Amino acid sequence: MASSSQVTYEKGGSHRAPNLILQDHWFQVPLDYAKPDSHSLRIFAREVVSAKASSEKLPYLIYLQGGPGFESPRPTDEGGWLKKACEKHRVLLLDQRGTGLSSSISAAALSAIGSPSKQAEFLTHFRQDNIVRDCESIRIALKVTQWTVLGQSFGGFCTLTYLSLAPESIKTALITGGLAPVSYGCTADAVYMALYGQVILQNQKYYARFPEDAALVRSIVLHLADSPSLSVPLPSGGVLTPRGLQLLGLSGLGSAGGFERLHYLLERAWDACLPGGPDESGKSRKLSYTFLRGFENWLSFDTNPLYAVLHEAIYCQGEASRWAAQRIREQKHLATKFDAVQAAREDRPVYFTGEMIFPWMFDELAGLRELKEVADILAEKADWGELYRTDVLRENNVPVAACCYYEDMYVDFGLSQGTAAGVKGLRLWVTSEFQHSGIREDGPRVLEKLLALASEQHPLN
């Protein structure tokens, strides 16, 4: 783990938001902790305290954001889970390495490193294990003995790695929708075989909510399939294809308000101002700029490319992913279900996909094209290191509470149950009230429940 000699610390500026005091912190850490004298990264964290509290007397809670590849929230007020957390903690919002202000990764930044193979090697240092080592560097620099860790989604994956590598540094661990599949036998293949079933269920629920959208989506797919290049240009320079359209399920099917946002995007699909208007056959139809721009805004691969290039790698221990989501999708029982054009021509509902990254995205989406070769190299990498110590988790002594969502489309409920059983003392709250974003939907109640479970205010039944 980290040592104080590997890290430099600088206290940054401070400012206020309504009822909050915000303090910036900067840390210089090694890219590779095994080679501390090599390349370094600049890591940013923002400390948040209630303006009503005496912060010097409060213990730290570090928040680990979901992703991978997304920065921590930028608070504008004391609302949501942050208000509850600030009642008894100084909250540290960490921009994980490669995100936000922490040596943010972009296609341009990667190109400066050199060849695709060098870029891929560089990116191998941005998984859970090194995020945890950064946390330890920060903890030591701030002279914190122990702190509470709150991990949302991928942040929960990081929390389990933290419990594996440095449990002595954690006072309490709280996980929301992020009980990662931890065993060596739980590969990326196993993850996607489980998740596709939940994606199908969410599609069925979506079309039950908005049955009129089934015909609308089919018309869009057939318009794309019958276009001269089997696609239409996107504003950024990429192309929209039938399979690309299915990517709207990534955030449209699995979080609060996602169904409604997807429906409102789809209802703007056609340009209504064409001379004569769109005819029944669709021959004079044109997809609107509003819709095409909305499609691109829906996806954030250009601003947060780590999500795409490392997504399958977060499941890998000792073997390659080899584009697992695509390979599983091509299995006979799924291939027909997720063939958009075939479904549209057969008058079946077109299923959107979920939290899956596919190799063809690096051809069709302009923000990912420069990373295609890098992504292929990472997909074939087999010598990934260990992320979780199952022996340590079985003997865990840290109070741990986790919220597990029964119909979670991103983290499979069944696999999460297996993980929960392998962490000694873990208190589990299972609910169907939320899909994946309970911390955003009702953060104060979710956090209060987990804190109560971890402190054993709720005794075992």
Catalytic one of 153, 169, 219, 321 = 153
Q: How far apart are CA 158 and CA 178, in angstroms?
A: 9
Residues near 281 by Cβ (< 8 Å), separated by ≥ 6? none
pLDDT at position 285, please?
85
Catalytic one of 219, 251, 436, 437 = 436
Q: Please say if the pLDDT value at position 226 is more than 50.
A: yes
Which residues on adjacent β-strands are paired with residue 63? 93, 150
Told to judge if 436 belongs to the known catalytic residues of this protein, a careful annotator would answer yes
Query: Do the beta carbons of residue 268 and residue 290 sit within 8 Å?
Result: yes
Residue ranges making up the domain that contains 335: 188-380
305 and 359 fall within a common domain: yes
Q: What region, left, alpha or beta, does residue 253 occupy, with left being phi > 0 and alpha being psi -120 to 50 degrees? A: alpha
Q: Please say if the pLDDT value at position 280 is more than 60.
A: no
153 and 17 fall within a common domain: yes
- Residue 189 three-state SS: helix
Query: What is the 8-class DSSP label of residue 287?
Result: B
* Structure-token pair, residue 194: 């489980």
Chosen domain end from 349, 365, 380 = 380
Rounded to 10°, the helix 116-123/372-380 angle is 60
235 and 367 fall within a common domain: yes
pLDDT at position 272, please?
80
Query: Do the beta carbons of residue 421 and residue 214 sit within 8 Å?
Result: no
Rg, Å, the chain Cα set: 23
333 and 211 fall within a common domain: yes
Structural domain count of the chain: 2
As a whole number, the mean pLDDT across the chain is 93
User: CA of 171: how far to CAs of 99, 129, 227, 421, in Å?
Assistant: 26, 19, 58, 21
Q: How far apart are CA 305 and CA 24, in angstroms?
A: 25
Q: How far apart are CA 303 and CA 108, in angstroms?
A: 11
* Structure-token pair, residue 198: 């939940």
Query: Do the beta carbons of residue 173 and residue 400 sit within 8 Å?
Result: yes
User: CA of 360: how far to CAs of 125, 150, 241, 339, 357, in Å?
Assistant: 25, 35, 11, 14, 9
pLDDT band per the 50, 70, 90 thresholds, residue 276: very low
Chosen domain end from 334, 353, 380 = 380
* Structure-token pair, residue 320: 């390659």
pLDDT band per the 50, 70, 90 thresholds, residue 388: very high
Chain CA centroid to CA 3, Å: 29
Least confident of 47-61, 101-115, 357-371, 439-453: 47-61
149 and 219 fall within a common domain: no
* Structure-token pair, residue 154: 């991928």
The fraction of the chain above a pLDDT of 70, given in percent, is 95
**CA-CA-CA-CA torsion sign (100, 103, 108, 111):** negative
- Is 245 part of a structural domain of the chain? yes
Catalytic one of 37, 347, 383, 391 = 383
158 and 216 fall within a common domain: no
What CATH number should be reported for the domain holding residue 100? Answer: 3.40.50.1820
pLDDT at position 185, please?
74
* Structure-token pair, residue 85: 């957390």
pLDDT band per the 50, 70, 90 thresholds, residue 240: very high
pLDDT band per the 50, 70, 90 thresholds, residue 275: low
Q: Please say if the pLDDT value at position 85 is more than 50.
A: yes
- Is 460 part of a structural domain of the chain? no
400 and 327 fall within a common domain: no
Which residues on adjacent β-strands are paired with residue 92? 47, 62
Query: What is the 8-class DSSP label of residue 246?
Result: G
Q: Please say if the pLDDT value at position 52 is more than 90.
A: no
- Is 160 part of a structural domain of the chain? yes
Is the N-terminal amide bond of 167 cis, ω within 30° of 0?
A: no
- Is 461 part of a structural domain of the chain? no
- Is 209 part of a structural domain of the chain? yes
Mean pLDDT of all residues in 115-125: 97
Give the predicted TM-score (pTM) of the model.
0.94
Query: Do the beta carbons of residue 222 and residue 213 sit within 8 Å?
Result: no
248 and 373 fall within a common domain: yes
289 and 156 fall within a common domain: no
Q: What region, left, alpha or beta, does residue 406 occupy, with left being phi > 0 and alpha being psi -120 to 50 degrees? A: alpha
Alpha helices in 210-257 (DSSP H): 212-225, 242-245, 249-252
Query: Do the beta carbons of residue 444 and residue 81 sit within 8 Å?
Result: yes
Chosen domain end from 348, 380, 412 = 380
Which residues on adjacent β-strands are paired with residue 11? 25
- Is 359 part of a structural domain of the chain? yes
234 and 289 fall within a common domain: yes
200 and 177 fall within a common domain: no
- Is 29 part of a structural domain of the chain? yes
Query: Do the beta carbons of residue 307 and residue 367 sit within 8 Å?
Result: no
The tens digit of pLDDT for each residue in 399-443 reads: 999 999 999 999 999 999 999 999 999 999 999 999 898 999 999
The tens digit of pLDDT for each residue in 315-363 reads: 999 999 999 999 999 999 999 999 999 999 999 999 999 999 999 999 9
pLDDT band per the 50, 70, 90 thresholds, residue 277: very low
Q: How far apart are CA 120 and CA 376, in angstroms?
A: 9
423 and 366 fall within a common domain: no
Between 36 and 354, the higher pLDDT residue: 354
Mean pLDDT of all residues in 127-150: 98
- Is 40 part of a structural domain of the chain? yes
Strand-strand pairing, 20-30 and 40-50: antiparallel
